[in-house]
Amino acid sequence: MKKKALSLLLASAMVVSLAACGGSSDDKNATGTTGGTSTETSTNTSSSSGSETPGSETSGGSEDTSDIEKPAEITILVDGTVFTQENARDQFMAKLEELIGIKINVIQPDHDAYYDNVGQIIAGGDWPDVMILSSTYYSAYAAEGVLWDMTEAWDNSELKKRQEAYNGAGVVAGMEIDGRLYGMPSARGNGCVTYVKKKWLDNCGIANAPTNYDEYLAMLEAFTTGDPDGDGTDGNTFGVTAAGFVGTEAPYVNYLPEFYQDAHPSFYQKEDGTWADGFTEDSMKAALGRLADAYKKGVIDPTTLTNGTADCRNKFYSDDFGVFTYWAGTWATNLKTNLENNGLDGELIALPPIKEVGSYLDRIPPVWCISSTCENPEGVFKYFIEPMQDGGEVQFLWTYGVEDVHWSTKAETLYEGEEKEKVYEEGQFHGCDNLENPGTQYTKAHIDPALALVELKDDPRNESAAEENKASAELFAQNCVTADLVPSTDQMTEYNGDLTTLKNELIAKVAMGEMTIDEAYAKYESDHGAEWSQIIVDSLNQ
């Protein structure tokens, strides 16, 4: 044993001694590597790398817009929402370079691991000029000074005017943190609407789609106890399902909005601008009551707790349930085609929000940010970010991609001889066959045309998009409010993880009838939930 202990000691001594000299060698790494990757991305104009200590207020003002220099070359870090290499990214970028006259180096990690990679790249110190960030990373990086403050640039830009003209400026205003803007959304975030199977309504003799909660619940009950799928057996179906009782991401309530209604399980900004935690408010208690009642009645899928999103879709396609709250736009078509493929009636009614819900929630969109180490941020904003939403050629490229690669107006027949055969005349706009997944067509590039913030001139969407796609997107656009961007505070980092876990546990247990509402709130108190919540609210209101 002694011998073993000694040699273990030796081994650890080795690590320590390595660590000791590592202090200096590591710094060498840091500087050495910045040189390393800049060869990869060739001579990029930015990050000549004093980037370890970013000055947060590097270059704020951009008063004089006239003599802003156009950058020669920039590096951008993007996720899978931009065309990937398999989907002719090179051709897309070549076309973009031609249009805006800037050489673009792209770093595009795997979509699933995007934020791991962003963390690594930022830690590596060699920051790209431009990056796409989700709301979480956006607010955290803005607070840490990674992002360039683009407030002035935006205020003085033509882009703002174009967005205002199209009623799009509210989305950008929602991205401001303490009145400052650090990132530019290229579209709205999109959200979910409630789809109801038309056939099921007919089979149950319900003439009008529900407009309030009582009607909604009555519909679910009819779907559960009756025979909406027409297979001759009563009660082998149920009303609605979701992947879990509460969402994993803001705005947590988007998959079961009819039950949550005006409740906020997490932090939200009140009308007077102060922050509050909606979890202890009466609206949330009422929501829990509705969930528990509905679950007890059996109108909510008994396996809601363990469903994944793919499980929900498959159940919907195999006619196990009839009401599904899912993404507006493209997914309306996806749901329809999959139902029809299963030999079922594909007609879905996109339900306007019932009276108690009022409006659907628009997700906070990802944003395009400029890093604070970018040498010429004004130039990048003016010549890269702005044109993306110019309403013209560049926006068209970002919306539909490259002609004859991603879309075409030539006469052609796709999928000849197959069931889904499609014939296009000369001049008829249509998506080309997907390079990565043959058999499907491209519908869009980075910007979803239905969610654009600036009106696109000569948008072919009216002719090319499917009816149900347009209808659901429009319904959503008319009935949505943007979710609040919750800023990141130290107290949030410290306590919100445990707090949210506790809340989710209580919601699930109450919904499934394992706990009464009073028991749940007693546990919330005793498990420090109220305490943590107060600490975070205080930090937000500071």
Partner 1 sequence: MKEKKNQSSASPATGTNRALGARIYRYKGFYVMFLPVFVFAVIFNYLPMLGIRYAFTNYNGIKKPSIVWFDNFNKMFSMPGFWTAFGNTLVISIVKLLLTTFFAVVVSLFLNEIMNIHFKKVVQTIIYLPHFLSWVVTASLFSLILAPTGQGLVNSFLVSIGVVDSGNMIYFLGSTKWWRFTYYLINVWKETGWQTVIFMATLAGMNTELYEAASIDGAGRWGKMRYITFPSLANTILTVLILNLAKVMNLFESAFVLQNDAVLDVSNVLETYIYYQSFNSGSIPNYGYTTAVGLFKSIVGCLLVLICNKWSKKVREGRGIV
Partner 2 sequence: MGKSGKKISVFSIVNGLIFIILCLIIIIPLWKILVDSFDLKTAYGMKLWPETFGLDGYKLVFSNPTLYRPLLISVITTVCGTIIALMLSTFGAYVLIQWDMPGRNLFANMLLFTMIFNGGMIPTYLVLRSLHLTDTLLVVILFPALNVYNLVLMRNFFEGIPASLFESATLDGCSPMQTFIRIVLPMSKAALASIGLMFAVTYWNDYTHYKLYIMNSDLYNFQMKLRGMIMGSDLPTASGNATENTIKNAAIIVVIIPFMILYPMLQKYFVKGVNIGAVKE
Tokens representing 99 are 């249009």
Residues 427-486 binding partner 2 (CB under 8 A) are: 434-441, 443-444, 448
Q: Which of 158, 81, 159, 171 has its CA nearest to residue 401?
A: 81
Task: State which amino acid sits at residue 219.
Answer: M
Instruction: Please state, in angstroms and rounded to a whole number, the distance separating the CA atoms of residues 276 and 538.
Output: 9
232 touches partner 2 by CB under 8 A: no
Phi, psi angle pair for 486, to nearest 5°:
-90, 120
Closer to partner 2 at the Cβ: 117 or 491? 117
Phi, psi angle pair for 414, to nearest 5°:
-95, 150
Total interface residues for partner 1 by CB under 8 A: 64
Instruction: Please state, in angstroms and rounded to a whole number, the distance separating the CA atoms of residues 381 and 333.
Output: 35
Instruction: Please state, in angstroms and rounded to a whole number, the distance separating the CA atoms of residues 366 and 28.
Output: 35
In the complex, minimum distance from the CB of residue 435 to partner 2, in angstroms, rounded to a whole number:
7
413 touches partner 2 by CB under 8 A: no
Measured between alpha carbons, how far is residue 359 from residues 164, 247, 385 in Å? 22, 17, 31
522 touches partner 1 by CB under 8 A: no
In the complex, minimum distance from the CB of residue 341 to partner 2, in angstroms, rounded to a whole number:
4
Beta bridge partners of residue 77, listed in sequence order: 107, 131
Q: Could you tell which of partner 2, partner 1, none binds residue 494, using a CB distance below 5 to 8 A set by kind?
A: partner 1
Q: Which of 324, 327, 329 has its CA nearest to residue 471?
A: 329
The correct pick among 306, 437, 440, 478 for binding partner 1 (CB under 8 A) is 306
Please compute, for residue 136, the number of CA atoms within 13 A of its CA located in the half-sphere on the CB side. Answer: 9
Q: Which of 166, 183, 153, 169 has its CA nearest to residue 64?
A: 153
110 touches partner 1 by CB under 8 A: no
236 touches partner 1 by CB under 8 A: yes
Structural contact between residues 192 and 257, judged by C-beta atoms closer than 8 angstroms: yes
Beta bridge partners of residue 197, listed in sequence order: 348
Task: State which amino acid sits at residue 211.
Answer: T
Q: Could you tell which of partner 2, partner 1, none binds residue 37, using a CB distance below 5 to 8 A set by kind?
A: partner 2
| Contact pattern from residue 486 through residue 515 relative to partner 1, giving x for each residue in contact according to CB under 8 A and a dash for the rest | x-x---xxxxxxxxxx--xx-xxx--x-x-
Binding residues for partner 1, rule: CB under 8 A, are 1, 3-4, 6-8, 10, 14-15, 18-19, 22, 26, 52-54, 119-120, 122-123, 136-137, 139-141, 144-146, 236, 244-246, 248, 250, 302-303, 305-308, 310-311, 320, 486, 488, 492-501, 504-505, 507-509, 512, 514, 527-528
Binding site for partner 2 (CB under 8 A): 3-4, 7-8, 10-12, 14-15, 26, 29-30, 32-33, 36-37, 40, 80-81, 84-86, 107-113, 116-117, 119-120, 123-124, 190, 309-311, 313-315, 317-318, 320, 327, 329-331, 334-335, 337-338, 340-343, 363, 434-441, 443-444, 448
